[in-house]
């Protein structure tokens, strides 16, 4: 591939990464967020200072991704209809891949979810039917220290979920429009005159594009989910060369991400509306034994 074409693709990728980074900044919380879970999972999280991030392809609701993929596919199809022959060569295989199999086979995001305080639906869905807990975490927990070099598991995205079709279209259109303009630029500069150069360039562009399409699809949902007001921490693996160990791959793939900021940023542990006195006593003992005696235990009011 022509070196100038490579640089164009790299700039496209940098712009994509910057859009996701700006999404991180826009989604940064200003109030504590809560992770709903069982009492047993709370003990494991505190003991290991680790969160389990579940593959987005194995979430509880398998319809979640289809909303974002559907928006992206519609925008790609519309671009295929209006763009010139050079761009159609790139867009056609993307549009034909209706189920986004190429993305699924190449990249996998893993998610840990956080919501608002004392949410009735979250108690039911994620906290042992209301018998579990919600871990309150200060905004500082979700901040990321800028470093020159990151370990693979430190490359974590903060994704504030946006709800509804208009917001999703804006997000997905940015990556589609950027790809179209980059391909036009490469042809205008005469960088893709050889068939092998064009094939290599378009393959690289698609790989770079996949990450943002998937990230957008994980962080946009239908209006019917708006009650969740969800924020996600997201980690990514290139499945051709995964840098984070994948656990439980055959059934429900996950990665286990160390959380060195966890203990210092627990604001409270809220007991679910159906938690009994025994569970409360066990949580109090757990916190005391873990050097978290100052962390208060509160009670849910949501039912």
pLDDT for 158-182, tens place per residue?
888 999 999 999 999 999 999 999 9
Spell 107-131 as b/e; 16+ CB within 10 A means b: bbbbbbbbbbbbbeebbbebbbebb
Rounded Cα–Cα distance for residues 259 and 226 (Å): 28
Q: What is the pLDDT of residue 107?
A: 92
Q: Are 237 and 44 in contact (CB under 8 A)?
A: no
The answer as to whether 90 is a domain residue is yes
Question: What is the residue-averaged pLDDT of the chain?
Answer: 91
142: confidence class by pLDDT, cuts 50, 70, 90? confident
* Paired tokens of 207: 């790989």
User: Does the structure show a pLDDT above 60 at 76?
Assistant: yes
Q: What is the pLDDT of residue 59?
A: 79
The answer as to whether 114 is a domain residue is no
Of residues 78 and 156, the one with the higher pLDDT is: 78
Beta bridge partners of 136: 34, 268
Rounded Cα–Cα distance for residues 79 and 74 (Å): 9
22: confidence class by pLDDT, cuts 50, 70, 90? confident
User: Does the structure show a pLDDT above 60 at 294?
Assistant: yes
The answer as to whether 127 is a domain residue is no
Q: Are 49 and 263 in contact (CB under 8 A)?
A: yes
User: Does the structure show a pLDDT above 70 at 100?
Assistant: yes
User: Does the structure show a pLDDT above 60 at 184?
Assistant: yes
| Secondary structure percentages of the chain, helix, strand, coil, to 5 | 55, 20, 30
Q: What is the pLDDT of residue 158?
A: 85
The answer as to whether 271 is a domain residue is yes
User: Does the structure show a pLDDT above 70 at 60?
Assistant: no
Q: What is the pLDDT of residue 149?
A: 63
99: confidence class by pLDDT, cuts 50, 70, 90? confident
Boundaries of domain holding 234: 3-109+133-299
Of residues 58 and 24, the one with the higher pLDDT is: 58
The answer as to whether 250 is a domain residue is yes
Averaged pLDDT for residues 202-215 = 94
Count of structural domains, the chain: 1
152: confidence class by pLDDT, cuts 50, 70, 90? low
Q: Is 236 exposed, middle or buried (0-12, 13-18, 19+ CB in 10 A)?
A: buried
The answer as to whether 123 is a domain residue is no
The answer as to whether 161 is a domain residue is yes
Q: What is the pLDDT of residue 132?
A: 97
Beta bridge partners of 184: none
CA-wise closest residue to 138 among 34, 260, 288: 34
Q: What is the pLDDT of residue 155?
A: 72
């Amino acid at each position: 591939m022509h070196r100038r074409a490579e640089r164009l693709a790299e700039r496209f990728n940098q712009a994509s990464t910057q859009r996701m980074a700006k999404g991180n900044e826009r989604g940064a919380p200003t109030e504590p967020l809560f992770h709903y879970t069982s009492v047993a999972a709370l003990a494991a999280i505190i003991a290991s200072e680790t969160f389990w991030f579940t593959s987005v392809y194995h979430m509880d609701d398998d319809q979640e991704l289809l909303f974002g993929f559907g928006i992206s596919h519609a925008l790609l199809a519309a671009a295929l209809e209006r763009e010139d022959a050079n761009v159609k060569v790139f867009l056609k295989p993307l549009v034909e891949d209706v189920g986004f199999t190429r993305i699924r086979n190449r990249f996998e995001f893993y998610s840990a979810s956080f919501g608002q305080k004392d949410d009735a639906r979250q108690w039911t869905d994620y906290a042992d039917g209301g018998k579990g807990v919600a871990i309150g975490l200060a905004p500082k927990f979700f901040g990321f220290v800028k470093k020159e070099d990151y370990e693979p598991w430190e490359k974590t995205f903060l994704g504030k979920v946006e709800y509804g079709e208009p917001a999703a279209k804006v997000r997905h259109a940015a990556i589609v429009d950027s790809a179209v303009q980059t391909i036009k630029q490469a042809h205008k500069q005469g960088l893709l005159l050889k068939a092998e150069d064009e094939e290599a360039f378009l393959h690289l562009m698609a790989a770079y594009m996949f990450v943002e399409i998937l990230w957008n699809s994980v962080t946009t949902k239908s209006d019917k989910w708006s009650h969740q007001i969800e924020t996600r921490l997201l980690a990514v693996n290139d499945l051709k060369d995964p840098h984070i160990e994948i656990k439980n791959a055959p059934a429900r793939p996950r990665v286990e991400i160390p959380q060195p900021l966890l203990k210092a940023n627990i604001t409270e542990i809220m007991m679910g509306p159906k938690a009994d006195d025994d569970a409360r006593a066990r949580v109090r003992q757990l916190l005391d034994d873990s050097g978290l005696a100052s962390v208060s235990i509160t009670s849910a009011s949501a039912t």
